[in-house]
Structure 1
Amino acid sequence: MNDLPVKPVNSPRRRQLVLAGGALATAPALFNIARAQAAPIKIGFPVPLTGPFSAEAQDQVRAAELAVKEWNAAGGHKGQKAELLVRDDKLNPGEAATRTLELIEKDKVNFVVGSLSAATQLSINAVTRERKVLFNSISQSDAINEAKDWSLYTFHEALNPHLTAGAVARYAFPKFGKKIVYLTADYAYGHEMVRGFQRAGQALGAQTLADIRHPLGAADYSAFLPRIQALKPDILVLCNFGRDLVNSAKQATDFGLKQGTKIIAPVLLYTSRVAGGADAFEGILGGTSYYWGMEDKIPSAKKFNDAFRKAYNGAVPSDYGALGYAGILSVLQAVKNADATDSQRVAIALRQLKYDWYKGPQFYRKCDHQSVQSVVIVESKSKGMKDKNDVFNVLAIEDANEKNLRSCEEMGHKPA
């Protein structure tokens, strides 16, 4: 019997065929991994582009786009660039939830940053929290940090009303008097601001004469002004925002309320001051998270302002615009620090982040992910302005301090 020779199983030829087959089998997997690594990091950005807060929202978009551009120009993360997906939430909680859900389910965003208003951010947070997608809010709110609405994926880049109102009260009440009237936008932002002033005012002996509430987006305040005047307050606090702040400041000035009454605002917006003009806002003081004029003393402010000027024909960034910049950069830096793009690992890295993007040192308090930061006290200028952007004098800066926040225990958290 003539048997044919049989090649050993481990012959060189056999090994070559096996290796070649293995390479062909793994090639699609390697290709998919490479493609996934190169896919853009998508950040959803729902803000109210229409409605009474549109000027502030548009500035947030400009600053957020600048942050993405800078990050991409610096190389992104291992070949991955960032992409900003802007959506109009129309200042409506239902619309905000719908747009956020679309961003997550349809557009497959990795993270969400945005929500200029306290009226929408809780609905956005409810959607992102349920789907375990990181959300960094850039709107003032106390509630979003409370345990009932909070999660590992919930972060708050903006100041909150307790911190903002407290800083303004500590500055203004001892100087201008203790009889206070509040003109309050009737939604979460206004209510929380009043609460912040009243809590700070207790230690200062302040007395609330009235809390007069108006609808969000009101155009006419004439029905409220005679009552305010009759109460003869030392201080009138305008606890409203955006176009509401502009309209109420103008009408209070025209009515003559500044004679004998100091008008203050918890958040004195750059955009509102520019829109309302020097006469309407003359002498009004308030708090803000940022003013571009801080660039003379804070290097990161100068760097941010110069980049914004270059990108937008010499314009300077607003306070709420800067929140868009910081909210995006913080998340993208956490991507690098975590060496990952999944929300859980990025959230863990973000809660450990210490940063200075535009105003000085900041960090997220571990128990509730609130950004601990300074509050700037400013007063509107009507004389001696260097140019059209020189609208505020910086009166004081209350440094970043966890002690000025509500305690973790009060908010339902265990201390970190």
Structure 2
Amino acid sequence: MGDHEKSKTGMVARGFSRRSILKGTAAGAAAVAAGPALFNIARAAEETIRIGFPVPLTGPYGSEAQEQARCAQIAVDQFNAAGGLNGRMAELLVRDDKLKPGEAATRTLELIEKDKVHYVCGSLSASVQLSVNAVTKARGIIYVSISQSDAINEAQDFSKYTFHEAMNPHMTAGAVGRYAFPKLGKRVAFLIADYAYGHEMVRGFKRAGEPHGIEVVAEVTHPLASKDFSTFLPQIMAAKPDVLCLCNFGYDQMNSLKQATGFGMKQQMQVLAPALLYNQRRAGGAAAYEGVIGGANYHWTLEESVPSAKAFNDVYRKKNDGAPPSDYGAYGYAGVGALLDGVKQAGTTDTDAVIAALEELKYDKYKGTQYYRKCDHQSVQSVFIVKSKSEAEMANEYDVFEIVDTDPASEDMLRSCAELGHA
């Protein structure tokens, strides 16, 4: 993907660097023949710590995926600049999974068998990450997922090799619901992307709403990557909800919000978007998103109070013409960064040693302290409740959200280990 290629949102997708490495018996033999110095270079290259990174660079989630790759590369660059693992450098091998489970499985298998990666991080879909996880756990490869999913932590899909850096729908929808339902009304409607992510978000909202006595007045599903919501939105308007929960993502979120705004729905009900996306807000414009409340793992204005956020923002800005990083980009940074912290703490790339190190790791990459819960390897972290600003409220083009509340990092916001099927 070229440095000036644009995503469908019109935002520039800057390239991310990749270093080629010497490998294979032919290269090794040539290096030996050329003398000890070249042989040592070849050995060092063969010892590169390789991290596979399958994400949907093309397709409806391309903007977020490109951000994840850029930020993951920053984590690799920082690891290498600090000397790597006793001189062993890391390399990020980015692959396009095209947002398709089969494609993701194929690319992941190639990364493991052909590219000989030590670890895998990435994916950006509930179903795609389960496909990647199935491949990695069958081959004993650590996988750090950076996309929301409830199922990946459940005993049926989980293995000791599975780590989940992203928030999950139970955390995200739960935090937004606990904030919104007591304030905004009990009649609730759902617009649902008809795949795992959408339905898991609905479940999270319903559980959060039970103590507040919410009444579900409509549940309307739509296909992934829908462009026309005119057949779905009138059903919701007819139900007259106090609150509309948009349980969708990426372009689906942006398109449904634009059309809901055009229908005047925001004058009739409060709109919630559990994962309220920075990139899509910037692409969709202030008018479509104004007043929408949602959850976020990150917003760059955290730099005002969190030192690690400022450090992350500063390095990103230097590489990206002064622009701050996005929420989903931060997942790429933390997913790879925490993995490499675990490698460094273990002092080896040995899989079991790195797993043990990650289970004990306390890390602060961009938002405050996080850690992986031992039973299911879910990253325990804060959830931020954000509200989208009007154009008049924005200090600059990047100032799109106001953080209105925070759910602090706590295992209390997670489903219990027993509920997930862990002994």
Counterparts of 2:372 and 2:41 in 1: how far apart (Å)? 33
Map 1:260-339; keep pairs closer than 5 Å: 260-339=268-347
Identity %: 63
| Correspondence for 1:246 | 254
1:187 and 2:175 matched = no
Among 55, 62, 66, the residue aligned to 2:63: 55
Q: How many angstroms apart in 1 are the aligned matches of 2:86 and 2:235?
A: 62
Q: Secondary structure at the match of 2:253?
A: helix
One-letter amino acid matched to 1:238: L
Matching residue of 2:356: 348
The reply to whether residue 384 of structure 1 matches residue 388 of structure 2 is no
Superposition deviation, residue 38 in structure 1: 6.4
Asked if 1:406 is matched to 2:415, the reply is yes
In structure 2, how many angstroms separate the alpha carbons of the residues matched to 1:202 and 1:263? 19
Q: Which has the greater radius of gyration?
A: 1
Counterpart of 1:258 in 2: which secondary structure? Answer: helix
Gaps of 5+ in 1: 1-27
SS in structure 2 opposite 1:245?
A: helix
Structure 1 residue 176: Cα displacement? 0.6
User: Residues 334-375 of structure 1: CA distance to partner in whole angstroms, max 9, x if unpaired?
Assistant: 111111112221111111110100000100000000000000
SS in 2 for 1:360: coil
Check the 8 A contact 2:145/2:165 in 1, yes or no. yes
CA distance in 2, matches of 1:154, 1:386: 41
**Which of residues 136, 142, 160 in structure 2 aligns to 1:134?**
142
Q: Is the 8 A contact 1:45 1:113 kept in 2?
A: yes
Q: Distance in 2 between matches of 1:119 and 1:243?
A: 17
2:163 and 2:65 map into 1 onto residues whose CA distance is 19
Amino acid across the alignment from 2:121: V
> Which residue is equivalent to 1:220?
228
Tell me the CA shift for residue 116 of structure 1: 1.2
The one of 90, 99, 107 aligned to 2:107: 99
In the TM superposition, residue 149 of structure 1 has moved relative to its aligned partner by 0.6
Correspondence list, 1:31-70, <5 A: 35=43, 39-70=47-78
Q: Spell out, residue by residue over 1:97-121, the C-alpha distance to the aligned partner (whole angstroms, 9 max, x if none).
A: 0000000000000000001111200
Q: Is the 8 A contact 2:220 2:235 kept in 1?
A: no
Specify the code of the residue in structure 2 equivalent to 1:174: P
- Mark the runs of 5 or more structure 2 residues left unpaired by the alignment: 1-35
Find the aligned partners of 1:62 and 1:168 in 2 and give their Cα distance. Answer: 28
Q: Structure 1 95/38 Cα, relative in aligned 2: closer, same or farther at 3 Å?
A: closer
1:258 matched residue in structure 2: 266
**1:396 partnered with 2:415:** no
Cα distance in 2, alignment partners of residues 35 and 114 from structure 1? 28
Paired residues in the alignment total 386
Specify the alignment match of 1:23 in structure 2: none
Deviation at residue 126 of structure 1 after TM alignment: 0.2
Q: Which runs of 4+ in 1 moved over 3 A?
A: 31-34
TM-score by length of structure 1 reads: 0.91
Cα distance in structure 1, aligned partners of 2:354 and 2:235 = 51
SS in 1 for 2:249: coil
Residue 149 of structure 1: aligned partner: 157
Aligned mates of 1:185, 1:99 — CA distance in 2: 25
Contact kept in structure 2, 1:136 and 1:156, CA below 8 Å? yes
Give TM-score, length-normalised by structure 2: 0.89
Bigger drift between 381-390 and 43-52 goes to 381-390
Q: Tell me how far 1:37 sits from its aligned partner.
A: 8.5
CA distance in 2, matches of 1:142, 1:384: 35
Please say if residues 66 and 311 of structure 1, whose CA atoms lie closer than 8 Å, have aligned partners that are also in contact. no
2:377 maps to what in 1? 369
Cα distance in structure 1, aligned partners of 2:229 and 2:306? 39
Give the CA deviation at 1:70: 1.0
Paired amino acid for 1:405: L
Give the residue type in structure 2 aligned to 1:354.
K
In structure 2, give the amino acid aligned to 1:293: T
Helix, strand or coil at the partner of 2:159: coil
Aligned partners of 2:342 and 2:358 also within 8 Å: yes
Aligned to 1:3: none
